[in-house]
């Protein structure tokens, strides 16, 4: 997925209360603790092509197919075959083992009521601790939305950071009850035509370095990344 962030644009600063209608209403939200499985690295050895031996010819191959399973592959007994086995073992020993990571999944389901295609969305998941309202935490996300007008989509992201850095003891005593008031806030919308809607008092410069870090590696299948 290719994410294009517009750095040259006509900036429209419009407070949410001034929108004739909400261009990107949030129709659902959720978060949960998850385990992200480690992705194995590429351990394919870069060995030369194996030599052609008599046993690789058509009739010899067909003859081997008729014998019982488990018969040794004659290619493994050649110099090239043994060299490839050694290269594979060395490559596997040097490849870091994938590690599972515990973190959090954040999801905001949105609908595009703007009248035009949306390319990029900046949004945040806000948590206010009920027992201590002064404890307000924001988790920021950048999404390659690719959302047509009238379309609906889940903007989902993984983060190692939870809904709160600290929590009041009174909240822990009520662990079975709701601990946070939650709110989704859309900070900035970048449209396919180059125009932008941005929440008043929100500044791109405040997250510029985080955006550079989030976009420094190629995007895979993910829709959003944490800032």
Question: Among residues of the chain, what percentage have pLDDT more than 90?
Answer: 42
Residues 161-205: pLDDT tens digits?
888 766 665 665 566 678 889 999 999 999 999 999 999 989 999
Residues 74-87: pLDDT tens digits?
666 666 666 666 66
As a whole number of angstroms, the distance between CA 19 and CA 39 comes to 43
**pLDDT over 80 at 212, yes or no:** yes
In the prediction, which pLDDT does 15 show? 37
**pLDDT over 90 at 143, yes or no:** yes
The mean pLDDT of the chain is 77
pLDDT tier for residue 62 given thresholds of 50, 70 and 90: low
């Amino acid at each position: 997925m290719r994410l294009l962030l517009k750095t040259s644009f006509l900036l429209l600063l419009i407070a949410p209360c001034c929108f004739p209608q909400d261009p990107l209403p949030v129709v659902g939200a959720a978060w949960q603790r998850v385990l992200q499985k480690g992705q194995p690295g590429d351990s394919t050895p870069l060995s030369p092509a194996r030599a052609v031996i008599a046993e690789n010819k058509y009739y010899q191959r067909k003859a081997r197919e008729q014998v019982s399973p488990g018969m040794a592959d004659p290619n493994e007994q050649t110099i090239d075959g043994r060299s490839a086995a050694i290269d594979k073992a060395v490559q596997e020993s040097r490849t870091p083992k994938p590690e599972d990571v515990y973190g959090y999944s954040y999801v905001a389901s949105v609908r595009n009521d703007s009248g035009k295609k949306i390319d990029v969305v900046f949004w945040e998941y806000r948590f206010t601790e009920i027992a201590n309202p002064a404890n307000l935490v924001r988790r920021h996300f950048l999404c390659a939305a690719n959302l047509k007008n009238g379309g609906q989509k889940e903007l989902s992201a993984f983060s190692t950071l939870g809904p709160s850095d600290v929590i009041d003891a009174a909240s822990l005593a009520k662990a079975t009850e709701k601990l946070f008031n939650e709110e989704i806030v859309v900070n900035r919308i970048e449209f396919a035509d180059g125009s932008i809607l941005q929440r008043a008092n929100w500044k791109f410069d405040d997250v510029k370095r985080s955006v550079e870090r989030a976009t420094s590696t190629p995007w895979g299948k993910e829709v959003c990344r944490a800032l």
